[in-house]
Amino acid sequence: MVAGNILVHSAVVISLFDSGASHYYISTSFIMMHSIHYNDMNIQWEINTGNRVITTSRVCKSCFVEVCGREFSADMFVIDTGGYDVILVMICLSKYHAVIDCGNKSVIF
């Protein structure tokens, strides 16, 4: 895992690049602070964080994300992310052939 600053909805965020995550996540506090719209889903999702299981029924659709000048949109589950504004998965980075360099704590495109 590597942490760093990226842009989400044009705001600088503290992001965690998690090679083991299955979905994208955005923090409840970040969406409230920036008045970002989210949707309520009809179902509860259970998310295993490794330490515990949390649930959410909220999702931000098509969040604008920019990483090192590469732009994409992602649907992100709204959760308490434990200090990070967003958690990104490898899927978003793999289409740009990005590599997470854990030794140097960087993402290389």
Q: What is the pLDDT of residue 102?
A: 72
Taking 80 as the threshold, does the pLDDT of residue 29 lie above it?
yes
Average confidence (pLDDT) over 17-34: 86
Q: Which residues constitute the domain of residue 31?
A: 2-108
- The Cα-based distances of 72 to 45, 51, 53, 109 in angstroms read 24, 30, 28, 14
Give the other-Cβ count within 10 Å of 77's Cβ: 20
> Do the bridges between strand 11-18 and strand 70-79 make them parallel or antiparallel, or are there none, so unpaired?
unpaired
Q: What is the CATH number of the domain that holds 91?
A: 2.40.70.10
Q: Percentage of the chain surpassing pLDDT 70?
A: 90
Domain count, the chain: 1
Of residues 85 and 17, more confidence is placed in 85
User: Whole-angstrom Cα distance, residue 12 to residue 52?
Assistant: 28
- CB 109, CB 97: distance < 8 Å: yes
Q: Is the pTM of this model over 0.85?
A: no
